[in-house]
């Protein structure tokens, strides 16, 4: 099933388009000049394409897909179904808009992505074939469109949600957990192909006799590291944890149902049935207890693995620091002295901050207090700074205006006689 082709999806398209277009009269009027101007095909010359119309369809297409919570969609649905109006009127310019978006890198084709679940040899051949293709072919109606911006937005949202329960830079989740962030499995698979191809995720596969699929997801802006044996062990533990959690939920429901049935049978006078349901509830309670203990042990092991990974990174950082110290001929004693100086500066700064916070803001209520403080400060400065006598120039008795001074200076300069030596 292609992405977005589920049962009842047509209603979703119409509601999403209506919500994004808004209450505009021309959208429901097939004879409207505005509608026909936006729906008509472009000319053969790209320079003649109306830029406002191109931007209108680019923005509307992404907003509708975002409202539908899809990261990909079949091309034939986008061009023929999403924006179809009564009477079979469809936007004839959408194929050109899709080509423009593809040229700008806003959309990709699923056929251009590499399936990470395929074998390594197949992936290598696929990479070589994609590199060998010099020119891009046009978008066909059978293609699956991948909206790059929406995949990146969904990846950022997944990282935010997983960061709430993981304090490391990467995490390993099962494929079912990864699929739960998307509308369907096809949409999740397309996003996984995109993220693995651009280094934001890695696909993991478990043992052959017990296939377990998972995703190593990066929670930061960096590239995801290579898959290690520890990642496979973590995947198996996470998969077991999800299975136990599901089994625990089933036991909780059955335990609750047994209790209700026992109470209903007791009220109706059927003591034998009530006794049987009470025994069932006790068995379910014992199973819940054992399942909870196993689940807690697995969670503890996963936490220890995450802590060990963090300690490993700290150890590597320490080793890098020691190597840098050796390269720059810096001893441990010098580092300790500098660290001690930094601690003293930080402590002094905290004392200053504490003193400033303890001083009331309204300690100087009127201008008299302020003038008194300035007078004290001026007296202290005069005591500390030695007195330096500066002889001021004598002011002329009869002050002249600036124009008269300039005229007098000009007259004196002209009266000077320069004679040869």
Same domain flag for 217 and 331? no
Same domain flag for 206 and 284? no
Same domain flag for 209 and 129? yes
Statement: the pTM of the whole predicted model exceeds 0.85: no
Does some domain include residue 384?
no
For residues 288-322, one letter each, b for 16 or more C-beta atoms within 10 angstroms of the residue's C-beta and e for the rest, the string is beebeeebeebeeebeebbeebeeeeeeeeeeeee
Say which range, 32-46, 158-172, 215-229, has the weakest mean pLDDT.
32-46
Same domain flag for 238 and 252? yes
- In this prediction, residue 391 carries a pLDDT of 45
Q: How many independent structural domains does the chain possess?
A: 3
- In this prediction, residue 335 carries a pLDDT of 63
Same domain flag for 97 and 151? no
DSSP secondary structure string for all residues of 26-88: GGG-TT-HHHHHHHSPPPSSGGGS-HHHHHHHHHHHHHHHHHTT-SEEEHHHHHHTTT-BTTT
- In this prediction, residue 130 carries a pLDDT of 63
Does some domain include residue 388?
no
Same domain flag for 32 and 114? no
DSSP secondary structure string for all residues of 199-244: TSEEEEE--SSS--EEEEEE-SSSPPPPP-HHHHHHHHHHHHHHHH
Does some domain include residue 4?
no
For the ranges 138-147, 266-275, 408-417, the maximum mean pLDDT occurs at: 138-147
Mean pLDDT, range 248-266, rounded to an integer: 88
Provide the edge-to-edge strand list for the sheet that holds 72-74: 72-74, 144-147, 107-109
Same domain flag for 95 and 155? no
Burial of 171 (0-12, 13-18, 19+ CB in 10 A): buried
d(CA 421, CA 416): 15
Contact 35, 29 (CB under 8 A): yes
Please determine, for residue 27, whether its predicted confidence score (pLDDT) is greater than 70: yes
Same domain flag for 340 and 250? yes
Return the percentage of the chain with pLDDT > 90, whole number: 20
The domain containing residue 70 runs over which residues?
13-104
Closest C-alpha to 99, from 71, 136, 133: 136
Return the percentage of the chain with pLDDT > 70, whole number: 68
pLDDT digit string, tens, across residues 76-129 = 999 888 988 877 788 888 989 998 899 888 999 998 888 888 877 767 776 666
Does some domain include residue 332?
yes
Same domain flag for 219 and 234? no
d(CA 208, CA 130): 30
Please determine, for residue 297, whether its predicted confidence score (pLDDT) is greater than 80: yes
pLDDT digit string, tens, across residues 328-354 = 666 666 666 766 777 777 777 777 777
**Which residue did the predictor score with more confidence, 355 or 268?**
268
- In this prediction, residue 68 carries a pLDDT of 92
d(CA 247, CA 292): 10
Write down which residue in 180, 206, 227 finishes a domain: 227
Say which range, 21-25, 83-87, 414-418, has the weakest mean pLDDT.
414-418
Helix (H, G, I), strand (E, B) or coil at 167: coil
Mean pLDDT, range 356-371, rounded to an integer: 54
Please determine, for residue 382, whether its predicted confidence score (pLDDT) is greater than 80: no
The DSSP H or E segment spanning 362 is none
- Place 156 in a pLDDT band, splitting at 50, 70 and 90: very high
pLDDT digit string, tens, across residues 198-252 = 999 999 987 656 688 999 998 888 888 888 888 888 888 888 888 888 888 988 9
Please enumerate in sequence order all residues whose Cβ is within 8 A of that of 254, keeping only pairs 6 or more positions apart, or say none: 280, 284
d(CA 398, CA 405): 11
Same domain flag for 89 and 200? no
Between the two ends of the chain, the Cα-to-Cα distance in Å is 109
């Amino acid at each position: 099933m292609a992405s977005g082709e589920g049962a009842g999806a047509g209603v979703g398209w119409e509601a999403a388009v209506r919500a994004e277009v808004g209450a505009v009269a021309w959208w429901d009027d097939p004879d409207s000049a505005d509608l026909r101007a936006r729906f008509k095909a472009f000319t053969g010359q790209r320079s003649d394409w109306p830029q406002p119309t191109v931007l209108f369809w680019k923005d509307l297409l992404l907003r509708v897909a975002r409202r539908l919570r899809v990261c990909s969609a079949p091309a034939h649905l986008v061009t023929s179904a999403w924006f179809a109006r009564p009477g079979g009127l469809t936007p004839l310019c959408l194929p050109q808009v899709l080509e423009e978006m593809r040229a700008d890198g806003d959309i990709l084709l699923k056929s251009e992505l590499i399936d990470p679940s395929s074998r390594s040899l197949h992936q290598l051949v696929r990479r070589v074939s994609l590199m060998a293709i010099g020119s891009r072919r046009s978008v066909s109606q059978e293609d699956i469109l991948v909206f790059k911006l929406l995949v990146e937005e969904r990846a950022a949202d997944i990282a935010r949600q997983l960061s709430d329960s993981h304090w490391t830079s990467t995490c390993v989740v099962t494929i079912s957990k990864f699929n739960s962030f998307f509308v369907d499995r096809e949409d999740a698979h397309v996003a996984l192909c995109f993220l693995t191809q651009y280094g934001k995720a890695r696909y993991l596969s478990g043992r052959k006799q017990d296939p377990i699929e998972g995703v190593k997801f990066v929670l930061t802006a960096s590239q995801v590291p290579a898959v290690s044996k520890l990642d496979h062990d973590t995947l198996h533990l996470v998969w077991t944890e999800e299975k136990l959690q599901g089994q625990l939920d089933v036991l909780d429901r059955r335990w609750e149902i047994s209790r209700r049935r026992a109470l209903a049978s007791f009220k109706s006078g059927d003591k034998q049935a009530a006794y049987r349901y009470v025994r069932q509830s006790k068995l379910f309670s014992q199973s819940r207890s054992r399942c909870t203990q196993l689940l807690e042990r697995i969670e503890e092991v996963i936490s220890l693995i995450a802590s060990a990974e963090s300690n490993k990174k700290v150890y590597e950082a320490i080793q890098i620091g020691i190597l840098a110290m050796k390269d720059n001929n810096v001893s441990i004693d010098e580092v300790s002295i500098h660290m001690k100086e930094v601690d003293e500066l930080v402590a002094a700064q905290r004392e200053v901050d504490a003193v400033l916070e303890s001083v009331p803001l309204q300690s100087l209520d009127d201008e008299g207090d302020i003038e008194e403080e300035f007078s004290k400060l001026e007296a202290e400065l005069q005591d500390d700074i030695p007195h330096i006598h500066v002889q001021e120039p004598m002011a002329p008795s009869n002050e002249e205006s600036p124009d008269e001074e300039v005229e007098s200076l000009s007259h004196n300069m002209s009266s000077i006689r320069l004679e040869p030596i």
